Chain A
């Protein structure tokens, strides 16, 4: 394989504690190595006057699978005037908020990302998810199956059977080639089958008679029983509802008393995703009532050491919302009267899809924008706070560089408040954004976009740093931290990297994509003791309820995962 010496750039690596020092990075055989190990054949990449970081890691995005594809199918207008024709080795690209798989891969590469987690995989449609992941070029990916409304999980947890829950989870991760435990609107999506919801963590799920709080705690316990790389990854109850911050605090407090187990080096037992949507005060969306509760939420998160979160920052764009939170999407279509798609996934989950315009002319979109940024700006430890837009729910992932600009520049935030938002003054009144002076550094951005998420996903041994022995994901951004002081430069530089080396291969050379690399699909194979009861339950439920045979359920073979990377976990005891 090729050898590269990335010379003379300003390097930011929170794991190694390198804060903008000029350091050379050596790459050989797909790994980061000492300079002295390079042969004379090594090619030099001149990074003089540029910023060098490890490849980005995205902890939460909806980029593959049936609901993303429904979004693509029912929003042809999302591709109107935003396509580019095939050129060189690149395929045709299209789509803004629900881009094609090719554009997804290319755009993450242009932003210098090397790994992306698909945040919600319906187990029954895991084959579809993996086919799309396979077709997304360049980036390594994995997918989190959803468990929070799963009949097996709810039945075992109601009886307090953590070992059976864990055995079922291990089995399902293997069947779906999944990575970890996603928990969307615990219990509420199942209640949606009755036209109901679970608005708080204490509302019992119809028929199953278990509460969201019990599901959250049970899944944390099962996760730590198995010692999985990532923790229980939750989207709490009552997303998007005014006044939901107290429900969010109740959700977060379920992690009390739990400690991470296993050998993957993460500190947290609960990751709360798109926290912005869960930090609202007030009783309605009107500016006289609605208010930011980011400070209350962050006061709690800053006081504990076993919780991480991602922002879910609203980017003030027209986008496509899609989530396994079925009742929320119905609520949204009632609000904006735009087209609604709803899918039920048998015993497992559901999903809804609605287009949404976060118009800067409305107060509420401005307030949502503010709250997302406040959460990160109030975070004491940025190794626990990650950049996300819950792509495409709060905005498309191609806006990460813009979010980074807002985090790094008060001037850029003030520009939004003064010139872009129609109700900027109201947003200053009802939120905290106007009084926050904090401007994050490139070192802190490196925590939020690579070192932190890699650690939280249990992938710190592969991604997030430029330490010797790590996978060689290296990006060079055309940003000179000594000279560039225009915030717009941050956005353009982080949108279009100069060079990207992915797993030791040069993917972007001088701003041009020259290779589609050799993408990998990561999954977790957790070994547990043989469990006859769980296997009997699985067989019975498939006979009784499922529309497919058990034999047609597993994501099997090279067709779906041509280049798998298996992380083995031993939970036999």
Chain B
């Protein structure tokens, strides 16, 4: 695997849209060619080389390419957008849309990420060592096709609207979450190891939400069913199972109504 290092040297005045920072785009290119790739600062089209120092050449394919992003990229959006393979390591914090519509490969962010991280994600691994903003693993505005596959792990806290319109895959938040979790979900699994606030599983059709800590206000559309023993992300325990959202439509499978499952650790 070849490593390309991009280091922020000139901060953009406006936010930078850098969806070209992706193993799929870098693949087969020399550092000089990578510096020529375009980016948008506001409505002006510029090049990555204007902001970043690029060293190292990419591998022949995305799978053979590792990108290390250094320096302050808190004003850089869309890192790893639509990537299908390979690896990205962001040494500090990134702005919005990191790993958006990601299909494969791995992204590791050592700091925090802002909103819309991993939206519309279809596959791959996205790990955030700090906190995530709102709309983590959610659907694009207006779309009903949210996260379809892959795994997102956040070691800190997440904001509101996590897993909005989630259809598949897994989101693990080791800290706390803000309001609205798994709204409109029709599949997938969200694990919250810390505390939840309110509106967890609102209008949920199918899928799973597991909360280890407290829930400030339970949605009225969720009904307690039974206690179950299970292992979740390496922890065994007893969980109270709730079905919901009872105010929403639910499909039938083999004569049985399929509900969204909300588990809370006892």
B255: interface (CB < 8 Å): no
| List of A residues within 8 angstroms of B140 by Cβ | 76-77, 80
Q: Per DSSP, are chain B's interface residues mostly helix, strand or loop, or mixed?
A: loop
CB proximity of A242 to chain B, nearest CB, Å: 22
On whether A80 and B144 interact (CB within 8 A), knowing A85-B43, A337-B249, the answer reads no
| List of B residues within 8 angstroms of A77 by Cβ | 140-143
Cα-based distance from A530 to B58 in the complex (angstroms):
80
| List of A residues within 8 angstroms of B141 by Cβ | 76-77
CB-defined interface of B71-82 with A at 8 Å, one 1/0 digit per residue?
Answer: 000000000000
In chain A, positions 306-356 with a C-beta closer than 8 Å to chain B are: 337-339, 355
Contact A75 B144 (CB under 8 A): no
Contact A74 B142 (CB under 8 A): yes
| List of A residues within 8 angstroms of B142 by Cβ | 74-78, 339
Contact B143 A339 (CB under 8 A): no
With an 8 Å Cβ cutoff, the count of chain B residues facing the other chain is 8
| List of B residues within 8 angstroms of A74 by Cβ | 142
In chain B, positions 244-260 with a C-beta closer than 8 Å to chain A are: 249
| List of B residues within 8 angstroms of A338 by Cβ | 144
In chain B, positions 38-63 with a C-beta closer than 8 Å to chain A are: 43, 45
| Chain A residue, CB-CB nearest to B251 | A337
| List of A residues within 8 angstroms of B43 by Cβ | 85
| Chain B residue, CB-CB nearest to A80 | B140
CB-defined interface of B197-208 with A at 8 Å, one 1/0 digit per residue?
Answer: 000000000000
Q: Which of A76, A77, A355 has the most CB of B within 10 A?
A: A77
| List of A residues within 8 angstroms of B249 by Cβ | 337
CB proximity of B19 to chain A, nearest CB, Å: 10
Cα-based distance from A78 to B145 in the complex (angstroms):
12
| List of B residues within 8 angstroms of A337 by Cβ | 249
| List of B residues within 8 angstroms of A80 by Cβ | 140, 143
CB proximity of A100 to chain B, nearest CB, Å: 16
CB-defined interface of A83-94 with B at 8 Å, one 1/0 digit per residue?
Answer: 001000000000
CB proximity of A231 to chain B, nearest CB, Å: 38
CB-defined interface of B231-266 with A at 8 Å, one 1/0 digit per residue?
Answer: 000000000000000000100000000000000000
CB proximity of A290 to chain B, nearest CB, Å: 22
| Chain B residue, CB-CB nearest to A73 | B142
| Chain A residue, CB-CB nearest to B249 | A337
CB proximity of B254 to chain A, nearest CB, Å: 19
Cα-based distance from A93 to B144 in the complex (angstroms):
24
| List of B residues within 8 angstroms of A78 by Cβ | 142
| Chain B residue, CB-CB nearest to A92 | B43
In chain A, positions 52-88 with a C-beta closer than 8 Å to chain B are: 74-78, 80, 85
CB proximity of B141 to chain A, nearest CB, Å: 5
| List of A residues within 8 angstroms of B143 by Cβ | 77, 80
| List of B residues within 8 angstroms of A339 by Cβ | 142, 144
CB-defined interface of A223-258 with B at 8 Å, one 1/0 digit per residue?
Answer: 000000000000000000000000000000000000
CB-defined interface of B133-175 with A at 8 Å, one 1/0 digit per residue?
Answer: 0000000111110000000000000000000000000000000
In chain B, positions 94-122 with a C-beta closer than 8 Å to chain A are: none
Q: Which of B43, B143, B249 has the most CB of A within 10 A?
A: B143
Cα-based distance from A85 to B144 in the complex (angstroms):
26
Cα-based distance from A547 to B13 in the complex (angstroms):
49
CB proximity of B165 to chain A, nearest CB, Å: 11
CB proximity of B161 to chain A, nearest CB, Å: 15
| Chain B residue, CB-CB nearest to A74 | B142
CB proximity of A521 to chain B, nearest CB, Å: 31
> Could you give 11 example pairs across A and B, Cβ below 8 Å?
A74-B142, A76-B140, A77-B140, A77-B143, A80-B140, A80-B143, A85-B45, A337-B249, A338-B144, A339-B144, A355-B144
Taking Cβ atoms with an 8 Å cutoff, the residues of B that contact A are 43, 45, 140-144, 249
* New contact pairs (4) apart from A76-B141, A78-B142, A80-B140, CB-CB < 8 Å: A75-B142, A77-B143, A338-B144, A339-B142
Minimum-distance CB pairs A-B, first 3: A77-B143, A76-B142, A77-B142
